Amino acid sequence: MSMQDPSPQSIDLLIEAGHVVPVEPHAIVLDDHAVAVHRGEIVAVLPIAEARQRFAPTQTVSRPQSALLPGLVNAHTHNPMTLLRGIADDLPLMVWLQQHIWPVEAAVIGPEFVADGITLALAEMLRGGTTCVNENYFFPDVQAAVYRQHGFRARIGLPVIDFPTAWASSDDEYFDRAGEVHDQWRDDPLIATAFAPHAPYTVNDANFERVRMLADQLDVPIHLHLHETAQEVEQSLQQYGQRPIARLDRLGLVNDRLIAVHMTQLTESEIHLCAERGVSVVHCPESNLKLASGFCPACALERAGVNVAIGTDGVASNNDLDMFGETRTAAILAKAVAGDASGFDAFTALRAATLGGARAIGFGDRVGSIEVGKQADLICVDLSPIETQPLHHVVSQLIYATGRHQVSDVWIAGQPKLRERALVGFDLEAIVANARQWRDRISTLRTGA
Ligand SMILES: [Zn+2]
């Protein structure tokens, strides 16, 4: 230290924490560290004592009993479906979709359903430490506006499916509307788009080729349900004489733009193909377990060098948006599937829930870790409750013992979204009243009353 320190630098926010878990570098915990934030960006990560000398923050938040982490990235959601929580459970995927979900959706879908479902989801996600989603639903224009209104970070899927829906009535209309939504949000700091062809069994070759061409042109990812069930693979073999991944490879889609969701049915050579081509895999363990779809070999994928992310999938098949719970399930299931308790360790699981998700959706350069130059998407987790005591190992507690109710504070791009458990900018009573109103509407529809 020099005798005359320079005068302290003005910054917006200094967060001091008992433990900072930066995720990058991998597998380290920085005790008694602070993160300095200015204009929404992380400007320094350093010991608290040093931070107090170097910075003159407008605001200081001190959390000596907490861990400070990057915000969690939910890499696969259908958040308008939060309004369908618990509507049809304990059914196999195709029965669930065709006899329950699709008929209800057909009756209620529209801008109001989408906006209200996302608002409910946003409140739930922020209270559980999620700061970014990869969204996949109809009316992406409405979704983008609601996420933006609350200052939430999202990659919004532009839907493509072979049949008419309330969003578009023909192939051309799906692509025209996709282009319009993309243009509207192309320069936004929080919102970006992706193509979201629904699944191999609902999108034909010609539409996949159009998706590939336009995704290249617009430089956006492709978000796709893939190899979700054995039945999907079987049907593809019958219809195309190829497994879905082989068919997509023939169509030129197996590359680093591809965000492949589920992937419960994989051969050794398909795992290596994904690694070689830079495909990201989104593991949605609870949805796969609940729909009895199969098991994603997360451990084998990770060891082959595939970027693995974690998603909750829609609330109608989960039934929550709890990324702490999902990450714990992912970690323990990966071990069981691999027959190896040392696989997918706590640090690896945390990375999948943060940087893995950010990389999968093309946000790896701006979020997913606590690094200088990245956006300040940060969460504080209170580790003082008895449920996470004694604190032998911070990251072990975070993955195997922490509940989402322990998230105390959340920032996105340096803006507070949750402050000591209180949501900023949400009227919780109004959200609950609105959810009840949707329950009544949907139940009237279903009983035909
Ligand atoms: Zn899904």
pLDDT tens column, 146-198: 999 999 999 999 999 999 999 999 999 999 999 999 999 999 999 999 999 99
Q: 342 CA distance to ligand 1 centroid (A)?
A: 29
Same domain, residue pair 118 and 193: yes
Q: 136 CA distance to ligand 1 centroid (A)?
A: 7
Confidence (pLDDT) at 4: 57
pLDDT tens column, 328-355: 999 999 999 999 999 999 999 999 999 9
Q: 43 CA distance to ligand 1 centroid (A)?
A: 36
Phi and psi, residue 203, nearest 5°: -135, 125
pLDDT tens column, 68-84: 999 999 999 999 999 99
Radius of gyration, alpha carbons of the chain: 22
Residue 170 located in a structural domain: yes
Confidence (pLDDT) at 445: 85
Q: 77 CA distance to ligand 1 centroid (A)?
A: 6
Residue 293 located in a structural domain: yes
Is the whole model's pTM more than 0.95, yes or no?
Answer: yes
pLDDT tens column, 129-139: 999 999 999 99
* Number of other CB atoms surrounding residue 426 within 10 Å: 18
pLDDT tens column, 230-280: 999 999 999 999 999 999 999 999 999 999 999 999 999 999 999 999 999
267: CB partners within 8 A, 6+ apart: none
Domain count, the chain: 2
CA distance 182 to 186: 6
pLDDT tens column, 190-222: 999 999 999 999 999 999 999 999 999 999 999
What one-character DSSP code corresponds to residue 375? B
* Number of other CB atoms surrounding residue 342 within 10 Å: 8
Q: 147 CA distance to ligand 1 centroid (A)?
A: 19
pLDDT above 80 (res 1): no
CATH number of residue 46's parent domain: 2.30.40.10
pLDDT above 70 (res 63): yes
Describe the crossing of helices 171-185 and 205-218 by its angle, rounded to 10 degrees: 20
Same domain, residue pair 33 and 62: yes
CATH number of residue 153's parent domain: 3.20.20.140
pLDDT tens column, 34-58: 999 999 999 999 999 999 999 999 9
Confidence (pLDDT) at 171: 97
Same domain, residue pair 42 and 20: yes
Residue 126 located in a structural domain: yes
Residue 373 located in a structural domain: no
Residue 128 located in a structural domain: yes
**Cβ(362)–Cβ(134) under 8 Å?**
no
Q: 422 CA distance to ligand 1 centroid (A)?
A: 30
Q: 310 CA distance to ligand 1 centroid (A)?
A: 12
Neighbours of ion ligand 1 (CB under 5 A): 313
Tokens encoding 399? 């993955």
Q: 228 CA distance to ligand 1 centroid (A)?
A: 9
Q: 96 CA distance to ligand 1 centroid (A)?
A: 13
**Cβ(79)–Cβ(413) under 8 Å?**
no
Q: 306 CA distance to ligand 1 centroid (A)?
A: 20
Helix (H) or strand (E) holding 110: none
Residue 26: C-alpha distances to residues 36, 72, 107, 283 (Å): 20, 16, 47, 20
Same domain, residue pair 16 and 139: no
Residue 178 located in a structural domain: yes
Same domain, residue pair 257 and 237: yes
CA distance 38 to 17: 17
Range of the domain at 283: 72-360
Confidence (pLDDT) at 5: 65
Confidence (pLDDT) at 64: 98
Strands 258-262 and 280-283, sheet pairing? parallel
Confidence (pLDDT) at 3: 54
Q: 143 CA distance to ligand 1 centroid (A)?
A: 16
Confidence (pLDDT) at 208: 98
Angle at CA 410, nearest 5°, toward 405 and 411? 170
* Number of other CB atoms surrounding residue 445 within 10 Å: 13
pLDDT above 60 (res 289): yes
pLDDT tens column, 357-377: 999 999 999 999 999 999 999
Residue 227 located in a structural domain: yes
Please tell me whether residue 162 adopts helix, strand or coil conformation: coil
Number of H helices, E strands in the chain: 17, 16
Same domain, residue pair 255 and 314: yes
Residue 432 located in a structural domain: no
**CA dihedral defined by 390, 393, 396, 400, rounded to 10 degrees?**
0
Q: 288 CA distance to ligand 1 centroid (A)?
A: 10
Confidence (pLDDT) at 93: 84
Same domain, residue pair 122 and 218: yes
Same domain, residue pair 64 and 183: no
Confidence (pLDDT) at 446: 82
Confidence (pLDDT) at 66: 98
Same domain, residue pair 164 and 241: yes
Q: 198 CA distance to ligand 1 centroid (A)?
A: 9
In this structure, is the dihedral angle defined by the CA atoms of residues 349, 354, 357 and 362, taken in order, positive or negative?
negative
Confidence (pLDDT) at 206: 98
Residue 260: C-alpha distances to residues 4, 148, 192, 255, 420 (Å): 55, 25, 18, 10, 36
Residue 241: C-alpha distances to residues 237, 246, 262, 308, 438 (Å): 4, 10, 22, 28, 44
Average pLDDT, the chain: 96
pLDDT tens column, 294-309: 999 999 999 999 999 9
Q: 209 CA distance to ligand 1 centroid (A)?
A: 21
Same domain, residue pair 254 and 336: yes
pLDDT above 80 (res 449): no
Confidence (pLDDT) at 417: 98
Roughly how many angstroms between the first and final C-alpha of the chain, as a whole number?
77
Confidence (pLDDT) at 138: 97
CA distance 333 to 98: 28
Confidence (pLDDT) at 201: 96
Q: 297 CA distance to ligand 1 centroid (A)?
A: 18
Exposure string for 3-22, b = 16+ CB within 10 A, e = fewer: eeeeeeeebbbbbbbbbbbb
Q: 313 CA distance to ligand 1 centroid (A)?
A: 5
- For the residues 391-395, what does the mean pLDDT come to? 97
**Cβ(274)–Cβ(281) under 8 Å?**
yes
Confidence (pLDDT) at 6: 78
Q: 226 CA distance to ligand 1 centroid (A)?
A: 10
Q: 203 CA distance to ligand 1 centroid (A)?
A: 15
The total number of residues shown for the chain amounts to 449
Same domain, residue pair 175 and 202: yes
With CA atoms as reference, report the closest residue to 263 among 241, 239, 287, 290.
287
Q: 261 CA distance to ligand 1 centroid (A)?
A: 7
Q: 326 CA distance to ligand 1 centroid (A)?
A: 14
Peptide bond into 25 cis (omega under 30): yes
Q: 301 CA distance to ligand 1 centroid (A)?
A: 20
Same domain, residue pair 124 and 55: no
With CA atoms as reference, report the closest residue to 109 among 139, 79, 140, 76.
139
Residue 166: C-alpha distances to residues 16, 102, 114, 241, 244 (Å): 48, 12, 12, 32, 27
**Cβ(396)–Cβ(96) under 8 Å?**
no
Q: 287 CA distance to ligand 1 centroid (A)?
A: 8
With CA atoms as reference, report the closest residue to 89 among 321, 313, 319.
319
